[in-house]
Amino acid sequence: MRRTALYSSAGPKRPAPAPKAAPQASGRATAAAPRWARLAALRRLSPNDPRLLWTAMALLALALAVCVALLLSRAPRVLTQKDITAAVLKTLEENLLPSAAARAYETILPSVVRVMAYTRGKDDDDDPSMGVGTGVVIVDKGVILTNLHVIQGAHTIKVVFADGLESTASVISTQPENDLAVLQAHKIPDDLAAATLRSTADLLPGDQVLAVGFPFGIGPSASAGVVSGLKRTFRSPEGGQDMGNLIQFDAAANPGNSGGPLVTMDGEVVGIVTAILNPTRMRTFLGIGFAVPIENAAAAFGVPPF
């Protein structure tokens, strides 16, 4: 009886390949050996072989150098004073900053008003103009400081605010000894801004000041100068009285500037322009103007600010 053949899952046994003959030792043959052969030789090194230690140290040094290079490339650059100075100079070259006088003008302008006085005419629709002066808002409810000689004898007073709003006004207080008057506007802008008043206690000759007003009705106009002196006395040709404790300044002022603010470079009011000295009949500016200190001017309203 024939048996069914049994099949093994293992494949047939193959004879082991005969060992290859070792190549003959020669310098040329060793140099031409493939790189994989050298790497295989390194894998066969003993853990105590010094060549393995030197190889590991070389790889570690290489990895450390790569890490340091990456860290240095990502580290933020430290700014030096030279870098900062160069940046500031470049900014100043590309963006011109406004002058101190321009900043002062911008600060005080919303509080400056044109003051117009009229005498009684033959009819209500014909009031002759007495001229134009200047005023400055000292309370945001429409309280305005100006010169007494600007509105003295007027039948009607009108003021024009910085935004163009025109309103009639009435006199609520006067201070003849300092040629000052306080007006109350009957209608005011919603966002009316009052000027900031500053004591003259620390004001010195040589300090820069700005006079803002409507010279000859033109304006608002600004003129810059310095404080020329303090505690000056001047005899007003309009009122005929002597006024003392005045600020002398050399910023250009002409008829129409009367009642306007004299301000510092911060835009803060230190005086009210009231007169110019001109011994001729021309009544034009010769370099000497006078302003009433704001302490006296604010007292005309009954509330000294300092």
> What are the beta bridge partners of residue 137?
144
DSSP3 helix / strand / coil % (the chain, rounded to 5): 25, 30, 45
Q: Is 73 a catalytic residue?
A: no
My answer on whether omega of the bond before 220 falls inside 30° of 0, hence cis, is yes
Catalytic residue chosen out of the listed positions 111, 127, 167, 179: 179
- Residue 166 has which token pair? 């025109």
- Residue 87 has which token pair? 């940046």
Q: Is 46 a catalytic residue?
A: no
Q: Is 149 a catalytic residue?
A: yes
Catalytic residue chosen out of the listed positions 127, 149, 223, 228: 149
DSSP line for 90-140: HHHHHSPPPPHHHHHHHHHGGGEEEEEEE---SSTT---EEEEEEEEEEET
Q: Beta strands 208-213 and 221-235: pairing type?
A: antiparallel
CB 161 within 8 A of CB 186: no
State the sign of the Cα–Cα–Cα–Cα dihedral 195, 201, 207, 212. Answer: positive
As annotated, the active-site residues are 149, 179, 258
